[in-house]
Amino acid sequence: MPYSQLIEKMLEGDKRACARLITAVENDSDEAERIMGDIYRYTGNAHIIGITGPPGAGKSTLTDKIVKELIREGKKAGVIAVDPTSPYSGGSILGDRIRMQDLALNPNVFIRSMGTRGYLGGLSKHTKNALKVLDAGGYDYIIIETVGVGQSEVDIVKIADTVLMVMVPGLGDDIQSIKAGIMEIGDIFAINKSDLPGADRTALEVNMMLDLNPDTDRRPPVLMVTAVKNEGIVELVNQIKEHFIYLKESGRFEVRRKNNLKMELVELVEEELRKIVISHAEDENKLNDEVIEIYNKNKNVYEVRDELIRGMGTHLHRG
């Protein structure tokens, strides 16, 4: 089936067309870029929710419950579970799939697992592309689950409108290490596994840390939830919606999306330039020769940098 037809079907809400387009845009190809170009004008309507937190915090269980609540309200929801490409995540990938198996069959739910592929644990361009396909496909809510390890949880602010930080009792010293840089990105905090001892204390600690950071006009709410028992989910979903309204009414929605577009654009330009410089230099074996020159102190890295950039010249024109 030609891509134009797949796009038509996707716009009508066809799940299989969506899946095929996502597969197509997971590759670095000119075709992928053409698809992205064609669907771009249909994007921008979804509420994008990032769910992050420590391994095993219950992010997938919570996602499952949130999605069930959303579809109960007649909404469509897409889920992208980002698996860090670590050998240790094998179990949880399987876990994710099993936990959401019944949902995957629902016509209003789309679920996809994706690796982070060479992006040093960050969220790849392919994740962003998949998200745009779902957005164009009419999914009202798109949830991105990332394990709070490495770059991906910081990256989540570059994509999500609402960041939900999942905390659990018994993190102990971990909560201190999570604090740095992470507390600032949470728009909503959910203390999951509230059925376990220590949940109140975790909530207290999170609240205390949030109070240390009073320079914003909005204090993120801290909610107690127990995903396995479906407790606190309706309130959580309400807070997620409230945050979206807050973003829109305060004008922050536009600011945030524009910032993210700028970062995305700069990243794409960087990536393309890097490819051109490196491929040009490698064509002529230049890179290795230059490294020898630098190693032998005949040149320094900065002058070689400038030489390489000058050398790109005519190679800068694509296609």
Residues that bind Mg ion (CB under 5 A): 59-60, 96
CA dihedral 299, 303, 309, 310 (to 10 degrees): -90
Least CB distance from residue 79 to Mg ion, whole Å? 10
Return the one option of Mg ion, ligand GTP, none that residue 196 interacts with (CB less than 5 to 8 A, by type): ligand GTP
192 makes contact with ligand GTP (CB under 6 A): yes
Handedness of CA 230, 235, 239, 240 (dihedral sign): positive
Piece of the chain touching ligand GTP by CB under 6 A; list 50-58, 101-109, 252-260, 308-316: 50-58
Furthest-apart CA atoms within the chain: distance in Å: 69
In the complex with Mg ion, the residue whose CB is nearer, 60 or 226, is: 60
Return the one option of ligand GTP, Mg ion, none that residue 107 interacts with (CB less than 5 to 8 A, by type): none
Residue that is written with structure tokens 């957005």 in the block:
135
235 makes contact with ligand GTP (CB under 6 A): no
DSSP 3-state of 315: helix
Piece of the chain touching ligand GTP by CB under 6 A; list 109-117, 179-187, 191-199, 295-303: 191-199
Whole-number Å distance between alpha carbons of 316 and 319: 10
Which residues are paired to 188 by β-bridges?
164
Residues in region 138-167 near ligand GTP by CB under 6 A: 147
Handedness of CA 35, 38, 40, 43 (dihedral sign): negative
Task: Look at residues 269, 271, 264 and name the one whose alpha carbon lies nearest to residue 118.
Answer: 271
Which structure tokens are listed for 132? 């745009």
Least CB distance from residue 225 to ligand GTP, whole Å? 7
| Residues in binding contact with ligand GTP, number by CB under 6 A | 17
107 makes contact with ligand GTP (CB under 6 A): no
- x/- track of binding to ligand GTP for residues 66-95 (CB under 6 A): --------------------------x--x
In the complex with ligand GTP, the residue whose CB is nearer, 21 or 160, is: 160
DSSP 3-state of 223: strand
Piece of the chain touching ligand GTP by CB under 6 A; list 21-29, 103-111, 190-198, 291-299: 190-198
52 makes contact with ligand GTP (CB under 6 A): no
In the complex with ligand GTP, the residue whose CB is nearer, 108 or 146, is: 146
60 makes contact with ligand GTP (CB under 6 A): yes
Whole-number Å distance between alpha carbons of 142 and 227: 19
195 makes contact with ligand GTP (CB under 6 A): yes
CA angle 115, 247, 50 (to 5 degrees): 15
Task: Look at residues 251, 201, 192, 253 and name the one whose alpha carbon lies nearest to residue 226.
Answer: 192
Q: Are 11 and 137 in contact (CB under 8 A)?
A: yes
Contacting positions for ligand GTP (CB under 6 A): 55-61, 92, 95, 147, 192-193, 195-196, 226-228
